[in-house]
């Protein structure tokens, strides 16, 4: 039985994936601040922003670890100009430092097993989303970080893969920090933009779709470097190669710019 560790396993994509992989025969350890309610996942309470907590959680795992899935993540909505510094620090701490902490702690285990790191990025890391600039920034960072780490660790047989889900129906929408409600300059546009995004998320795919892609990637001897989840998102990412940045920026302005005023 192969052992995997997944962060953010208390809800959404992490919970669905932990349960799916457990049913497929993996032993699953879930790291999150709160303990989830799945009997299929062995929860180890852990805030990924603390290297010490990550180290302690890994010490509790006695089996060889085949794969680590960095899934824990948070979002912010709001204009760049008025986003509170502590909110920017929080998203960078969870979405970037958290991933780095887990990779650093996990690598000695994964070098031993020639294991896998799967980092959950986002299509928002490939397309710049206004009023979610800090989210796009962290997810773009995860893609490039994963590619560099893949090259560094390849000689040891370790592979690092980024999964890019599109809109997925989870608690992510309600958990997003919003930094715009009182903003007299950007508030109306930020609200329109976020409302559109939230509607898309609420109509989004089931997290199990992401879980199935993760499972497929885990089974591959030679896994891909990046996988986008969802046909329409795959198509968008493909189209991006053929259009100019100016055109893409214009399309994103029309979609998520919240009007031109
Ligand atoms: N939903 C979407 O449309 C979508 C699209 C693309 C990518 N993604 C990405 O998918 C991942 C999972 O998101 P989701 O949609 O499943 O959202 P979610 O339902 O809000 O789940 C987020 C998970 O992250 C955990 N988490 C947050 N901060 C943490 C911390 N400091 N330490 C440990 N765990 C922490 C949460 O658990 P605790 O609160 O218990 O710690 C929770 O289990 C994220 O990386 C997100 O960016 C989501």
How far is ligand 1, taken at its centre, from the CA of residue 59, in Å? Answer: 23
Confidence at residue 181, expressed as pLDDT on a 0 to 100 scale: 77
- Which two three-digit tokens encode residue 158? 């370790």
The position carrying tokens 């796009």 is 136
Tell me, using a 6 A CB cutoff, whether residue 214 lines ligand 1: no
Tell me, using a 6 A CB cutoff, whether residue 211 lines ligand 1: no
For ligand 1, atom 42, the nearest C-alpha belongs to 8
Sheet containing 159-165: order of strands: 42-45, 27-32, 3-7, 65-70, 116-120, 159-165, 226-229
Any bridge partners for residue 43, and if so which? 30
Tell me, using a 6 A CB cutoff, whether residue 33 lines ligand 1: yes
Pairing of strands 159-165, 3-7: unpaired
Query: What is the SS3 assignment for 85?
Result: helix
Q: Which atom of ligand 1 is nearest to the CA of 171?
A: 19
Confidence at residue 211, expressed as pLDDT on a 0 to 100 scale: 98
Q: Which residue from 229, 209, 249 is spatially nearest to 13, judged by alpha carbons?
A: 209
Tell me, using a 6 A CB cutoff, whether residue 153 lines ligand 1: no
How far is ligand 1, taken at its centre, from the CA of residue 11, in Å? Answer: 7
Confidence at residue 260, expressed as pLDDT on a 0 to 100 scale: 60
Confidence at residue 179, expressed as pLDDT on a 0 to 100 scale: 87
Pairing of strands 3-7, 65-70: parallel
In a mutational test of the pocket of ligand 1, which residue from 37, 170, 176 has the highest number of ligand atoms less than 8 Å from its CB?
Answer: 170
Tell me, using a 6 A CB cutoff, whether residue 119 lines ligand 1: no
Tell me, using a 6 A CB cutoff, whether residue 165 lines ligand 1: yes
Let me know if 194 is exposed, middle or buried by CB neighbors in 10 A (0-12, 13-18, 19+): buried
How far is ligand 1, taken at its centre, from the CA of residue 70, in Å? Answer: 10
Burial of 67-88, coded b for 16+ CB within 10 Å and e otherwise, reads bbbbbbbbbbbbbeeebeeebb
30 phi/psi in degrees, rounded to 5:
-115, 125
Mean pLDDT per 10-residue run, the chain (261 residues)? 97 98 98 96 98 98 98 96 96 98 98 98 96 98 98 98 97 92 90 93 96 98 96 91 93 86 52
Confidence at residue 205, expressed as pLDDT on a 0 to 100 scale: 96
Confidence at residue 42, expressed as pLDDT on a 0 to 100 scale: 98
Tell me, using a 6 A CB cutoff, whether residue 11 lines ligand 1: yes
How far is ligand 1, taken at its centre, from the CA of residue 61, in Å? Answer: 22
CA distance 213 to 168: 13
For ligand 1, atom 40, the nearest C-alpha belongs to 34
CA distance 83 to 76: 9
Query: What is the SS3 assignment for 10?
Result: coil
For ligand 1, atom 34, the nearest C-alpha belongs to 32
Confidence at residue 67, expressed as pLDDT on a 0 to 100 scale: 98
Tell me, using a 6 A CB cutoff, whether residue 228 lines ligand 1: no
How far is ligand 1, taken at its centre, from the CA of residue 73, in Å? Answer: 4
CA distance 48 to 10: 13
For ligand 1, atom 1, the nearest C-alpha belongs to 168
**Structural domains for the chain:** 3-256 (3.40.50.720)
């Amino acid at each position: 039985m192969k052992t995997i560790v997944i962060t953010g396993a208390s809800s959404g994509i992490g919970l669905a994936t932990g349960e799916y992989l457990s049913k497929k025969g993996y032993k699953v350890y879930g790291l999150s601040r709160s303990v989830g309610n799945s009997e299929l996942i062995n929860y180890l309470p852990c805030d990924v922003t603390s290297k010490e907590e990550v180290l302690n959680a890994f010490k509790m795992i006695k089996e060889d670890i085949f794969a680590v899935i960095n899934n824990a993540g948070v979002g912010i909505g709001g204009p760049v100009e008025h986003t509170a510094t502590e909110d920017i620090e929080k998203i960078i701490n969870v979405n970037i430092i958290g991933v780095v902490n887990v990779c650093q702690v996990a690598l000695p285990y994964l070098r031993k097993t020639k294991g896998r790191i799967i980092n959950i990025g986002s299509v928002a890391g490939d397309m710049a989303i206004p009023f979610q600039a800090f989210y796009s920034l962290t997810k773009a960072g995860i893609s490039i970080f994963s590619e560099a780490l893949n090259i560094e660790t390849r000689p040891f047989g370790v592979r690092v893969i980024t999964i890019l889900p599109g809109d997925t129906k989870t608690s992510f929408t309600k958990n997003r920090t919003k930094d715009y409600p009182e903003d007299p300059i950007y508030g109306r546009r930020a609200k329109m933009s976020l409302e559109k995004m939230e509607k898309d998320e609420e109509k989004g795919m089931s997290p199990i779709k992401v879980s199935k892609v993760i499972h497929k990637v885990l089974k591959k001897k030679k896994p891909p470097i990046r996988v986008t989840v969802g046909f329409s998102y795959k198509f968008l990412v493909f189209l991006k190669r053929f259009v100019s940045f100016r055109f893409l920026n214009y399309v994103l302005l029309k979609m998520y710019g919240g009007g031109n005023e």
